[in-house]
Amino acid sequence: MDLSLSDEQKQLQDAAERFVRDKYAFENRRKIAATEKGWLTENWAQMAELGWLGMAFSEEDGGYGGGPIETMIVMEQFGKGLVLEPFLPTVVLGGGMIAKAGSKAQKEALLPPMIEGKKQFAFAWLERQSRYNLADVSLKATKEGNGWSLSGHKGVVYNAPSADHIIVLARTSGSAREEKGLTLFVVDAKAKGITRRDYPTQDALRASELTFDKVSVGADAVLGKVDDAFGVVEDAVDHAIVALCAEATGCMDAINAATLEYIKTRKQFGVPIGKFQVLQHRMVDCFTNAQEARSMTLMASLKIDDKDSVVRRKAASGAKVQIGKSGKFCGQSAVQMHGGMGVTDELSVSHYFKRLTMIDLMFGNQQHHLTRYSNLAMAA
Amino acid sequence: MDLAFTPEEQKFSDEVRAFVRANLATDIRDKVKNGKHLIRDDYMRWQQALGKQGWLVYTWPKKHGGPGFTPAERYIFENICAEEYAPGIIPFGTKMVGPVIYTFGNDEQKAKYLEPIRKSTVWWCQGYSEPGSGSDLASLRTKAEKQGDHYIVNGSKTWNTMGHWADWIFCLVRTDPKAKPQEGISFLLIDMKTPGITVKPIIMADGGHEVNEVFFDNVKVPLTNLIGKENEGWTCAKFLLANERLGIAAVPQSKRGVAALKDIARAEQDNGKPLIENQSFAEKIADLEIQVTALEYTELRVLSSMAHGGQPGPEVSGLKVRGSEIQQRITELTMEAVGEYAAPYLPGLLWQGSNEEPVGPAYAHLAAPRYFNTRKTTIYGGSNEIQKGIISKMVLGL
Amino acid sequence: MDLALKPEHKAFADDVRAFARANLSPATKAKTFSGKHYDKDDHIQWQKALGRQGWLAYTWPKKYGGPGWDVTQRFLFENVLAEEGAPRIIPFGPKMVGPVIYTFGSDEQKERFLPGIRSSEVSWCQGYSEPGAGSDLASLRTKAVREGDHYIVNGQKTWTSFAHWGDWIFCLVRTSPEAKAQEGISFLLIDMKTPGVTVRPIVMLDGAHHVNDVFLDNVKVPVANRIGKEGEGWTCAKFLLANERLGIAEVPSSKRGVRSLRDIARAEPANGATLADDPAFTAQIADLDLQVQALEMSELRALSTMALGGAPGPEVSSLKIRGSEIQQRITELTMEAVGEYAAPYQPGMLFQDTNETPVGPDHAPPAAPRYFNFRKTSIYGGSNEIQKNIVSKMVLGL
């Protein structure tokens, strides 16, 4: 048992820290967020050059043989800078599902360009009625000659405006909310019949509502087995959850550091407000919360590739519960301790708070994952 | 980075489990399993068995007769003992005064005191808090005046745990009343049989007797019982507090506590089904289990950095804070699981090991007393408010 | 003691309801229930209608042109208007400066300023906080130097709500820099059109613009605009703060908020049913509902004391604390109810009257922005930390 980083991992951490320092000073980030697509091509190219887009993939798939720990290291730094490039939808979700379920041809066609920074993905699973149930899918794919025809609606699809391919979760058989009968399709984002409504999100990312009107795809668009996608999706989402937890840990470190600095310098009643015990103890609770978040993220990153699927799922849900709880506590406390400044757009603190809030809502909030963890733990 | 045990660690783990199974008496194991109170002899039998094996002082380095465990071995040892329902090791000798003696004591003192601690032939207790000095420990007033080759000690100590079973007490006493509060304090070892010492029980909210007031009336203590230099006792005290805080998170005990809570929730009925099938109660247990996991991995991170040469810093205080809150939450949920059958108060069953039939299930009468009693965990060893004060000052620089 | 309404009070409530239905514009009402931002017209049209009825200054005694209602009528008025979806009355004129003027002002000042407040012809805003004076209000530094029959005012005010709509601002200014912090302060009314007054918007984290910086650069203010004596402005400030804290609990709008939350839960799909079928979620609404009821009863108790001639005491601070926490919790649960559809940022839907269809359900666009924005409620009007200090000092004597 050893929980320390290897030398290579430490170098990765340093490089990611440097990237964030150089590219994501807060005013810089504001500029990036205000651009049309909401991220920078040059930053994406640099991530490719540094090997980050391929680090978690096997050498066979054109990657560098790392895993969830490497993803954790990079995502944590991204959280510190509120990085906007679409690493999660493209690499963790899209790349992850293709590596896991793709045919040899699909992998060859999609992974190397993704690793080189030339292709991006978006994962379309949510529908208006789905809430956090990954199987609550009604977008229909029906057989059409050798291929398929997709019709229906997908919502809050992150990175859809920039993606080259949309990975669509569709119902090919079975009834509403049945886990059996779901199929993944890799669809060209510009395919005829797709209508997009793009918008920014609260935390300055980009997403879309997508309408599919008889979108025709070939048989080779199917990712994995027909009717059998649920396991692949659940696993990919669990990996994405762990990556999000790492990002949230970085956000918490940053927001705590900013708050600590603020209460040491802001003076009222003739002293820095950090001299008041009520704020000291709240600040300590923030740090304890961030510690716990870091611990659970580490635990989940170490267990997310476990052979036992119950262990994997419990790890992801357990960490998500912690991140929801700690993120809310650190975010709300940071705003409160900053006073009026905390609710303005001007300081970074409100932007971290918004990101932490949205992370809780992604792929199931604290309550959802508490229920999931509880059901898994009780069944075991 | 790797969670799995190495083959050596795995072998060690098997060895510890085999030892506990062979050496922990069944009657003691049953008491621990059922949450009953242990008596002095129970602790002594188990600790002496560990002593023979050389594992009682499992945190000590080899040089002072400890086994020199790695952090991973410590973790394994603590977890297996808890899983096998071994009683907690009484810390006053092994984890508190022992390390102070081998760090600050002279060779004679080491020769005299360490062996009986390693073998558990002497029972130690702690004389720190006083009626007027709780969170503000440095304001203590028990005084020791030099007379020839003795100190004459006068004053009183309180919240003294298990002093009624103790052979020796280690005390903080004031040797220089004129110095600043923290500078006039010395660290003194006192034989409990010395004339002038009186022990008076304090009865706790749950009706139990585990703590005492200890009165010192012209107690004569040889100068050779002073550890370190006169007036430098605060250094020993700080060292001891930092040492204490790591294990105080009690993660293995809490893991065991959650397992026991689940057993109770399986046995209790709710609307014709086991309580554990009640979604909202099951989620409360799940939440607690996640808290325990977070605490465990925080401790593992500290241990791992220690294995690479790091020292546990003041952030360890955070472990005590969360650990104590979790211990409380376990007892709270256990009482909630028992429901109205937590109300009957059966002191005979609780304290004297009588054979009377329990009211309700066997675990029920323990639930409320444990809940009441465990409120102490956020107060003792430096209250959680004090711990947060330490983090705020030492870690955050506020 | 009687919770039931007397017949004359029932008739009164019916009158208020009929008035609201006849006079509140449907567009404004729709904004209330969809959580959109009001524009200036929404507020002013409604307030002028209330003013014509003689109800805008509903807390004022008859003598100053108020309706002279008893506490039950006030309570009913607030509740009925909240139920009917009326915007809250902007407090700076009718609830803040108005009572200060009729309590501390001269007859001339009363004649000059009160009618415009009662009719909502004149919009007021508040110049209290400064960049360096937030919780520690008495450290304010905007100074007013006497020159003949004018003051020359220089400094900066911040967090000034609706300054961009305001005709007049009431300010705390320092008139005597040598006096102790609270003693050199005066209460001054300033026409926003006076040369040297500049307003700069502060954009909030949800993208909204309600608050401003107000810069005062050699602003010439007639001495006749000072309320009370020079150097006694702190007395006005304390009176106003105590007055403000009562209404700030916002019980009627929180009751409306809980009802809306239940409606949203009924509309939100979840696992083939609705969120209203999810016991974990409805239990959270129930918990909130009970908190609102407890707060309402506390407020009623305070009102009842006032009805018997008592003054609202410092314990009113705890109404503000709980009221703000409850408002925040409503927005938090509303956002959770909306789920991932809270993520799209749709400023058009919040700030303008657009015809675009929202992404997700109609109630989705304001959910996250309101959650973000409402973090302010535990900060403004004296942060909750300051309120707790007030209770600790004034009520508990600590």
- The ipTM is 0.90
Instruction: Look at chain C and count its residues.
Output: 398
Q: Which residue has the tokens 């996991």?
A: B293
Percentages helix, strand, coil for chain A, rounded to the nearest 5?
Answer: 55, 15, 30
In one-letter notation, the amino acid at residue C273 is A
Residue A346: φ, ψ to 5°: -70, -40
Q: What's the topology of domain A236-379?
A: Butyryl-CoA Dehydrogenase, subunit A; domain 3 (1.20.140)
Mean pLDDT, range C221-234, rounded to an integer = 96
Predicted local distance difference test score (pLDDT) of residue A70:
97
CB C152 within 8 A of CB C188: no
DSSP H stretches of helix in A218-341: 230-265, 277-303, 309-338
Nearest C-alpha in A relative to C129: A340
Contacts of B314 in chain A (CB under 8 A): none
Asked if A10 is an interface residue toward chain B (Cβ–Cβ < 8 A), one would say: no
Lowest mean pLDDT among A226-235, C108-117, C246-255, C261-270: C246-255
Kindly determine whether residue C269 and residue A339, on different chains, have CB atoms separated by under 8 Å. Answer: no
Residue A149, token pair as written in the block = 């025809």
CB C67 within 8 A of CB C54: yes
Kindly determine whether residue A136 and residue C360, on different chains, have CB atoms separated by under 8 Å. Answer: no
Pairing of the two strands C124-127 and C150-161: unpaired
Q: Report which DSSP code applies to C345.
A: -
- Distance in Å, alpha carbon of B283 to nearest chain A alpha carbon: 5
Q: Which of residues 309-328 of C touch A (CB under 8 A)?
A: none
- Distance in Å, alpha carbon of A310 to nearest chain B alpha carbon: 14
CB C98 within 8 A of CB C133: no
In one-letter notation, the amino acid at residue A171 is R
Residue B111: φ, ψ to 5°: -65, -35
Nearest C-alpha in A relative to B393: A280
Greatest distance between any 2 Cα atoms in chain C = 76
What CA–CA distance (Å, rounded) separates C236 from A204?
A: 44
Task: Give the domain ranges of chain A.
Answer: 7-118, 122-230, 236-379
Kindly determine whether residue A370 and residue B297, on different chains, have CB atoms separated by under 8 Å. Answer: no
Q: Which of residues 270-299 of C touch A (CB under 8 A)?
A: 270-272, 275, 280-281
B:C CB pairs within 8 Å: 6
pLDDT reading at B311 higher than 80: no
Rounded alpha-carbon distances, angstroms, from residue B256 to A172, A253, B286, C55: 47, 32, 14, 65
Predicted local distance difference test score (pLDDT) of residue C351:
75
pLDDT reading at C212 higher than 90: yes
Q: Which of residues 282-301 of C touch B (CB under 8 A)?
A: 283
In one-letter notation, the amino acid at residue C74 is R
Share of chain C above pLDDT 70, in %: 98
Task: Name the residue facing A278 among C268, C372, C385 (closest C-beta).
Answer: C385
CB B202 within 8 A of CB B209: yes
Kindly determine whether residue B4 and residue A1, on different chains, have CB atoms separated by under 8 Å. Answer: yes
Q: Which of residues 221-260 of C touch B (CB under 8 A)?
A: none
HSE, side-chain direction, 13 A CA sphere, residue B380: 17
In one-letter notation, the amino acid at residue C143 is K
Q: Residue C287: is it exposed, middle or buried by C-beta count within 10 angstroms (0-12/13-18/19+)?
A: exposed
Kindly determine whether residue A283 and residue B392, on different chains, have CB atoms separated by under 8 Å. Answer: yes
CATH classification code of B124-232:
2.40.110.10
What CA–CA distance (Å, rounded) separates A363 from A349?
A: 24
Q: How confident is the model at residue C300 (pLDDT cuts 50, 70, 90)?
A: confident
Q: What is the pLDDT of residues A47-104, one digit of tens each?
A: 999 999 999 999 999 999 999 999 999 999 999 999 999 999 999 999 999 999 999 9
Q: DSSP 3-state assignment of C2?
A: coil
Mean pLDDT, range B180-190, rounded to an integer = 94
What's the count of helices (H) and strands (E) in chain A, helices before strands? 12, 10
Share of chain A above pLDDT 70, in %: 100
Instruction: Kindly write down the DSSP assignment for every residue of B319-386, as one continuous string.
Output: HHHHHHHHHHHHHHHHHHHHGGGG----HIIIII---PPPSSSTTHHHHHHHHHHHGGGGTSSS-HHH
DSSP H stretches of helix in C35-159: 40-53, 71-83, 98-104, 107-119
Sign of CA dihedral A128, A130, A134, A135: negative
Nearest C-alpha in B relative to C282: B280
Task: Name the residue facing C346 among A156, A199, A353 (closest C-beta).
Answer: A199
Kindly determine whether residue A201 and residue C341, on different chains, have CB atoms separated by under 8 Å. Answer: no
Count of CB atoms situated within 10 Å of the CB of B121: 14
Residue A206, token pair as written in the block = 């980009």
What CA–CA distance (Å, rounded) separates C42 from C38?
A: 6
Rounded alpha-carbon distances, angstroms, from residue B147 to B92, B228, C21: 29, 19, 92
Nearest C-alpha in B relative to A7: B1
CB B117 within 8 A of CB B98: yes
Q: What's the topology of domain B248-395?
A: Butyryl-CoA Dehydrogenase, subunit A; domain 3 (1.20.140)
- Domain A7-118, CATH number (from 1.10.287.610, 3.30.1950.10, 1.10.540.10, 3.90.550.10): 1.10.540.10
Sign of CA dihedral A26, A31, A34, A38: negative
Sign of CA dihedral B227, B233, B237, B238: negative
What CA–CA distance (Å, rounded) separates C16 from C8?
A: 13
SS (H, E, C) C187-199: EEEEECCCCCEEE
What CA–CA distance (Å, rounded) separates B229 from B235?
A: 10
Q: Which residue has the tokens 């004596």?
A: C229
Rounded alpha-carbon distances, angstroms, from residue A154 to A169, A226, A232, C341: 9, 19, 19, 12
Q: Report which DSSP code applies to B36.
A: P
What CA–CA distance (Å, rounded) separates B213 from B205?
A: 16
**Residues linked to residue B201 through DSSP beta bridges, in sequence order:** B212
Count of CB atoms situated within 10 Å of the CB of C81: 25
Rounded alpha-carbon distances, angstroms, from residue A192 to A151, A197, A211: 12, 15, 11
Contacts of C204 in chain A (CB under 8 A): 343-345
Residue A192, token pair as written in the block = 């005829």
Predicted local distance difference test score (pLDDT) of residue B310:
76
Residue B184, token pair as written in the block = 């006039």
CB B172 within 8 A of CB B233: yes
What CA–CA distance (Å, rounded) separates B50 from B81?
A: 11
What CA–CA distance (Å, rounded) separates B206 from B194?
A: 32
What subunits touch chain C, counting only 3 or more CB pairs under 8 A? A, B
Q: How confident is the model at residue C246 (pLDDT cuts 50, 70, 90)?
A: low
Contacts of A294 in chain B (CB under 8 A): 298, 301
pLDDT reading at C238 higher than 90: no
Count of CB atoms situated within 10 Å of the CB of B4: 10
Nearest C-alpha in B relative to C283: B280
Q: Which residue has the tokens 């199974």?
A: B21
Q: Which of residues 59-118 of C touch A (CB under 8 A)?
A: none
pLDDT reading at C395 higher than 90: no
Task: Name the residue facing C344 among A201, A270, A335 (closest C-beta).
Answer: A201
Lowest mean pLDDT among A164-178, C149-163, C242-256: C242-256
Q: How confident is the model at residue B243 (pLDDT cuts 50, 70, 90)?
A: confident
Q: Who contacts A336 (Cβ-Cβ below 8 Å, separation ≥6)?
A: A282, A342, C375, C378, C379, C383, C384
Write down all domains in chain C, each with its CATH number in brackets.
Answer: 7-89 (no CATH), 124-230 (2.40.110.10), 248-395 (1.20.140.10)
Pairing of the two strands A222-223 and A182-188: antiparallel
In one-letter notation, the amino acid at residue C185 is I
- Distance in Å, alpha carbon of B284 to nearest chain C alpha carbon: 12
Contacts of C283 in chain B (CB under 8 A): 280
Task: Give the domain ranges of chain B.
Answer: 7-89, 124-232, 248-395
- Distance in Å, alpha carbon of A153 to nearest chain C alpha carbon: 12
Q: How confident is the model at residue C6 (pLDDT cuts 50, 70, 90)?
A: confident
pLDDT reading at B241 higher than 80: no
Q: What is the pLDDT of residues B131-164, one digit of tens each?
A: 999 889 999 999 999 999 999 999 999 999 999 9
Q: Are both B124-232 and B248-395 of the same fold?
A: no
pLDDT reading at A1 higher than 90: no
In one-letter notation, the amino acid at residue A220 is D
pLDDT reading at C8 higher than 70: yes
What CA–CA distance (Å, rounded) separates B230 from B185?
A: 7
Q: What is the pLDDT of residues C78-130, one digit of tens each?
A: 999 999 999 999 999 999 999 999 999 999 999 999 999 999 999 999 999 99
Residue A169, token pair as written in the block = 């979760």
What CA–CA distance (Å, rounded) separates B146 from C196?
A: 77
Chain B residue set in contact with C, beta carbons under 8 Å: 279-280, 283
Which among B66, B87, B108 has a CA at the least distance from the CA of B252?
B87
Q: How confident is the model at residue A9 (pLDDT cuts 50, 70, 90)?
A: very high
Contacts of B297 in chain A (CB under 8 A): 295-296, 298-299
Which among B343, B384, B377 has a CA at the least distance from the CA of B360?
B343
Q: Residue B230: is it exposed, middle or buried by C-beta count within 10 angstroms (0-12/13-18/19+)?
A: middle
In one-letter notation, the amino acid at residue B349 is L
- Stated as kind and residue range, the H or E segment containing B227 is strand B226-227
Q: Who contacts A249 (Cβ-Cβ below 8 Å, separation ≥6)?
A: A76, A79, A290, A293, A294, A297, A323
Q: CATH class for domain A122-230?
A: mainly beta
Q: Which residue has the tokens 């006053």?
A: B92
Pairing of the two strands B124-127 and B168-174: parallel
Q: Which residue has the tokens 């003792």?
A: B380
Contacts of A378 in chain B (CB under 8 A): 276-277, 282, 286
What subunits touch chain A, counting only 3 or more CB pairs under 8 A? B, C
Predicted local distance difference test score (pLDDT) of residue C245:
66
More confident residue, B369 or A106: A106
